[in-house]
Amino acid sequence: MKVENIGLTRVPSPKIQTKAPSFKRNWAEHASWGANYVKQKGKTNFKLFSFPDAKAVFVEVADKAAGKLSNIKERLVGVLGLTTAAAAAGINKELTPADENSKIYPMEHKGDGVFEANDIDAKPNDKYRYIVVTKDNDVNMVKDPYSKKQENIHGWSSVYDTENYEWKNTNWLEGKDSRRIVRKPDEPLRGLERLVIDEVNIPTLTEEGTFEAAKKRIDEIAKKGTTTAIELMPVENTFSKQWGYDGVDKFAVNENLGQAEQLKELIDYSHGKGLNVIIDMVPNHMGPDGDYLSQTGPYIKGSGEFGNLLNYEGDNNRYVRDWMTNAALWWAKEFKVDGIRFDLTNKVGSDYLLRQIAVEVNEHAPEVFLIAEDHEHKRHSITSYYEPPHITHDEQLEFVDHNVENNRKGLKTSPWSIGFDSEWDSQYKESVEKSVLEPNTFALNDLDNYIKTSHYRVKYGYSHDEIGNEDGTRFIPKYIARHFNLFVSVDGDSQASKGQKAAHAAQNIAELVTSEDFENMTNTEIAKTEKSFGINRFIPKQELINVFETAVAKQKLMLGTVMTTPGPKMFFQGDDEADLSYFKFFRELSDDAEKRTVDPKERENIVNQKGYDTLESIARPDSVIGSMKQEGLYKNLKEEMVTFNADLKKLLDSSEVLAKGEFVGTYKDNQHLVHSHHLKLGDEELLVIKNYGHGFHSGNYEYYGFPQGSNWKEIFNSDAKKYGGSGYTNTGRDDINNMNQHLSLAPNSFIILQKI
């Protein structure tokens, strides 16, 4: 047994500075936290924020090759000078046992709960953990909240090697590749108007569900030409492959997906294909599995809906805010991402934390853009445009610290501006979804309102939430379920059960219609199959075909509405190719399998709620892109949809008006459920006419809001035959004007007219 730098049976009282330490927010300070290996010295410096009143804090280091580590009760008693009872309490809390050959080093208290130990004999990949002796003699053995490599959420942290990857696409990183979208103070929209985001989930992007395998899908995404960026759902460390919103190690990569260097390689590879990379972060809560922050220091303020909430404005909050801010800077600087999206910022509990993140990213990674998921629709401060500050960087941080202290004392204030670049526009999303799924006058009114106010926000029709948080089905099955009112055509013990059965019956219908055998099936065979889906009525073959094709047209209309609204845009993985695979909610906590074994009701309750078991091994395979093949009558569906979206993207690239044009006006035709919007940028003008209704207009559609005194020609029609449509068209005409409209307009379609 070796104990370094102690020499006494009982540890002397730690030295606490009477004057507050002068910690700054410069880059060296940001980079100093956690375990930092200094290659020149071959040593590692450790820095931790723990309890300000802790009796002592130690760092324990074990060789990376250490096997099963044995008990350290004797050292807790003999070295730390604790009672046997206190030592036993510590053993009950420890994450893994310790090894006789590990070394324990005392950490010096620098004040305010900041503990340091420098020049420690630890190399990259060596294991370490902290031993925190609280004022009550509790002994907590905890992983590092700054852990940058965490193989097991319940185990030791590992010293991270910052030189684990050599970046190849340096032109991209140096801003020499014009495809890169950057955040710069002298650009009004900072280039974000060029964002077309494909939101992806690494575990379901391929069958393997790894960073390495994801490169195959990146090749396909780049080849399709439908997007300029990918957004990775969180890869923060969790127990299993999952959605990622249960992260507990905010700096460490989920090694179920691969190593940190493999994530870097994937980002670098994406840059080489011309794709910007956005990473998703979760600042609003800790996951429910593997969270030891409450044993580490005053990081937690209580429990919330999704997990523990973080102490951003309570007692001893300064270094908790810095910790999350540093996590954002870590992903920006270490992994070279182009943007960061922050999950549920309205649940963070501190606008000042968000302001601090924006200030620090502006200072240390000014090229990286920030996107919020805020949902506070009346609050525009979240995305107030950045202006050159009238105060220095340090003064801005002092402003944040001062007002957080006022809030802590009950003198509530809020920042005048938070300074993110964009946010998800859920109001716009809801209006588009309603207009497409259930078109009516009220939905059209909402669309008309929100389409004009969504300019700098991220527009989308569906994200992971609208699919997976409901029943796991995508837009086409959702429409099928609504159209056939399957809720009343299935049996169930509760409304939740009937809703899930209706959703999965609709999914089965979509899979049936796109199967190889469907074309040759008789109505008798179809009736029997529908009965096996749990549907207690018969839906004829032709009606299934008609409704499926309507659903496809509606999905194109939804995507087209998004793509023709200026500003950043987004779709969910596979939606640009009409993928019909599930995207189920899946996650597995470290005790889930055991719980299901001990109490079968655990599984039953989940299945009743979701309609399926959420264990990763069960739900993930169904959610992999392309797991549901399109064959038979619809063997060309994927190609047609990709062509449709690629052509829209080409139009977006060639017509800046679709990226950042201004609204000249909008028009609602409530009788026919048609909406149009008129865009202008310089001399270029476009008119987008969207038919959310079911009426066919064959050379006879007109409306009195048509622009006067100009001629127009059609440059895009979502109903074109090459996109799988019926071929209604206005091509070849250059005489379209307010006196001679006579437009052809298919139901659930849109056309784009260009001013001549």
pLDDT, residue 17, reads 44
Comparison of pLDDT for 591 and 266, the residue scoring more:
266
Q: Residue 639 corresponds to which tokens in the numbers above? A: 């190609």
**What is the residue whose two structure tokens read 């090759």?**
65
* CA gap 345, 383 in Å, rounded: 12
* CA gap 524, 421 in Å, rounded: 57
Average pLDDT over residues 55-60: 92
Query: Does residue 3 register a pLDDT over 50?
Result: no
| pLDDT per residue as tens digits for the range 679-707 | 999 999 999 999 999 999 999 999 999 99
Give ranges for CATH 2.60.40.10 in the chain. 2-158
Q: Residue 509 corresponds to which tokens in the numbers above? A: 């219908």
Given CATH 3.40.50.1010, say whether it is the number of domain 657-755: no
Give 407's pLDDT tier (boundaries 50, 70, 90): very high
Q: Which helix (H) or strand (E) holds 701?
A: strand 697-701
Q: Cβ distance 101 to 86 under 8 Å?
A: no
Residues near 495 by Cβ (< 8 Å), separated by ≥ 6?
none
**What is the residue whose two structure tokens read 């395979």?**
621
**What is the residue whose two structure tokens read 């989940």?**
606
| pLDDT per residue as tens digits for the range 418-467 | 989 999 999 999 999 999 999 999 999 999 999 998 888 999 999 999 99
* CA gap 478, 585 in Å, rounded: 16
The region of weakest confidence among 128-137, 182-191, 432-441 is 182-191
Comparison of pLDDT for 294 and 185, the residue scoring more:
294
Query: Does residue 207 register a pLDDT over 60?
Result: yes
Give ranges for CATH 3.20.20.80 in the chain. 170-423
Which class does domain 170-423 fall in? alpha beta
Q: Residue 671 corresponds to which tokens in the numbers above? A: 């009788």
Comparison of pLDDT for 469 and 380, the residue scoring more:
469
Q: Which helix (H) or strand (E) holds 363?
A: helix 351-364
pLDDT, residue 243, reads 95
pLDDT, residue 94, reads 55
Average pLDDT over residues 143-157: 94
Residue 643: CA count within 13 A, CB half-sphere: 15
CB neighbours of residue 135 within 10 Å: 10
Phi-psi region of 42 (alpha: psi -120 to 50; beta: other; left: phi over 0): left
Average pLDDT over residues 20-43: 90
The region of weakest confidence among 34-38, 173-177, 479-483, 721-725 is 173-177
Q: Residue 121 corresponds to which tokens in the numbers above? A: 């004999």
Q: Cβ distance 160 to 264 under 8 Å?
A: no
Give 92's pLDDT tier (boundaries 50, 70, 90): low
pLDDT, residue 756, reads 93
For residue 543, which amino acid is it? E
**Distance spanning both ends of the chain, measured CA to CA:** 85
Q: Which one-letter DSSP state was computed for residue 221? A: H
CB neighbours of residue 599 within 10 Å: 11
Q: Cβ distance 108 to 117 under 8 Å?
A: yes
* CA gap 283, 251 in Å, rounded: 12
For residue 489, which amino acid is it? S
For 75-109, letters b (16+ CB in 10 Å) and e give bbbebbbbeeebbebbbeebbbebbeebbbbbbeb
pLDDT, residue 389, reads 62
Average pLDDT over residues 129-141: 89
* CA gap 394, 415 in Å, rounded: 16
Give ranges for CATH 2.60.40.1180 in the chain. 657-755
Q: What is the percent of the chain where pLDDT is above 90?
A: 77
Q: Which one-letter DSSP state was computed for residue 415? A: -
Instruction: Give the strand pairing for 229-232 and 276-281.
Output: parallel
Q: Residue 262 corresponds to which tokens in the numbers above? A: 């493999």
* CA gap 617, 424 in Å, rounded: 31
Q: Residue 711 corresponds to which tokens in the numbers above? A: 């001629």
Q: Cβ distance 9 to 87 under 8 Å?
A: no
The region of weakest confidence among 264-273, 348-357, 390-399 is 390-399
pLDDT, residue 381, reads 81
| pLDDT per residue as tens digits for the range 99-125 | 557 888 999 999 999 999 999 999 999
Average pLDDT over residues 619-633: 95
The region of weakest confidence among 185-194, 482-491, 648-657 is 185-194
pLDDT, residue 606, reads 86
**What is the residue whose two structure tokens read 């340091």?**
116
CB neighbours of residue 622 within 10 Å: 17
pLDDT, residue 495, reads 87
* CA gap 422, 183 in Å, rounded: 11
Helices (H), 409-483: 426-437, 441-451, 464-468, 475-483
Query: Does residue 737 register a pLDDT over 60?
Result: yes
Residues near 648 by Cβ (< 8 Å), separated by ≥ 6?
226, 559, 560, 563, 564, 716
* CA gap 588, 591 in Å, rounded: 8
Given CATH 2.40.70.10, say whether it is the number of domain 2-158: no
